[in-house]
Structure 1
Amino acid sequence: MLTLTLTAALEGVNDLRPDDTEDNPFWYTFKVQCGSCREIHPNFVSVSRFEANDMSGSRGEANFVWKCKSCKRESSATIKIAPIPYQQASPPTRQKVIEFDCRGLEFTEFKPEGEWLATGIDSKSKFTAIDLSEGDWFDYDEKASEEVSIKEMKWEIRRN
């Protein structure tokens, strides 16, 4: 099992999470490494919890099925839980975002592409289409009359 964790300084917002529904799936973007030959795929790959791919030689399915170009071994990853909203904390704490059951591969680097959601702490304002791909995010909460932000993000992929 691999867990994607986040540590971030949230100011004025809470419940940071990917915009991930069946109608609008979020694509988790990673660098992938073969568990057999340790080769790292040169490109980022994307995984959706709503996509099911057949595994060759098996009746099983996985959210992500990958064949290493170097050793030709097939590997898979399945998202085990829905994303968990990141909660504002002071000081910022490392929190689980999502968990994967990986067979024969490891994700080595996460790229937070895609749209994220958050909620104003006091105002309950809904913030949508948050772009974290460039790092820090800033906006203004009209109801609370204050700036809100997401800063100092640190993504980690941890083995359980």
Structure 2
Amino acid sequence: MVNYVLQITADLENLTDLQPQGGCDDPNFSFLFKLKCGRCGEVSQKETCVVLNDSVPLPVGKGTTHLIQKCKFCGRDGTVTMVPGRGRPLTQETSESGKFSPLMLFDCRGYEPVSYAFADGWRAVSLEGTTFEEIDLSGGEFAEYDEKGECPVMISNLRATFEVVKL
């Protein structure tokens, strides 16, 4: 079992607290990423979708997981289980310092997550307190105008990484 934390960063202009719509542990937020097989090294051609609210029973033993997937190349099964409670929103301070903010922890068995894909369902707050909801980051950026603060807001230069962590 290897634990991977998904970390994100971006350039935030007049924005802070970038996170999934319902918070870092949003039960309905879709995490999209490709998986690399731990046996043969084959990387999935399409992104895999993992959602905290969707769980399936483990094929052996007791318990549940959020994804069971068979490698199309070698036939090996692998699982991905989400571990909530470890994520934090990306703040402007973290962004300006060039650091990454942890979003979600994944317990992976037989697979390694690679290349996270940003999609829709994000939320951020302007420095003046205006909340921007249902932000779509699939195009790689977001630009809007904050009427209350009378300033432009922008998310650009999105980056994500999976880092191995020990618990």
| Residue number in structure 2 paired with 1:30 | 33
- 3-state DSSP of counterpart to 1:37: coil
In structure 1, distance between residues paired with 2:147 and 2:59: 52
In structure 1, distance between residues paired with 2:33 and 2:69: 13
Of the candidates 53, 57, 60, which is equivalent to residue 57 of structure 1? Answer: 60
Matched, 1:46 2:49: yes
Q: 1:134: Cα distance to partner?
A: 0.7
Q: Tell me the matched-pair count.
A: 157
Structure 1 residue ranges, 4+ long, deviating more than 3 angstroms after superposition = none
Q: 1:107: Cα distance to partner?
A: 0.8
Spell out, residue by residue over 1:124-159, the C-alpha distance to the aligned partner (whole angstroms, 9 max, x if none).
111011111111211111110000111111111111
TM-score, with length taken from structure 2: 0.88
Q: 1:9: Cα distance to partner?
A: 1.2
Of the candidates 66, 85, 88, which is equivalent to residue 89 of structure 2? Answer: 85
The unaligned stretches of length 5 or more in structure 2 are none
TM-score, with length taken from structure 1: 0.91
| Residue number in structure 2 paired with 1:5 | 7
- The letter of the residue matching 1:139 is E
- The letter of the residue matching 2:102 is K
In structure 1, distance between residues paired with 2:88 and 2:54: 19
Q: 1:58: Cα distance to partner?
A: 2.5
Matched, 1:18 2:24: no
Percent identical residues: 29
Contact (CA 8 Å) 1:54, 1:65: kept in 2 or not?
no
Q: 1:116: Cα distance to partner?
A: 0.3
CA RMSD of aligned residues (A): 1.4
| Residue number in structure 2 paired with 1:97 | 103
- 3-state DSSP of counterpart to 1:113: coil
In structure 2, distance between residues paired with 1:73 and 1:59: 20
Of the candidates 128, 143, 146, which is equivalent to residue 141 of structure 1? Answer: 146
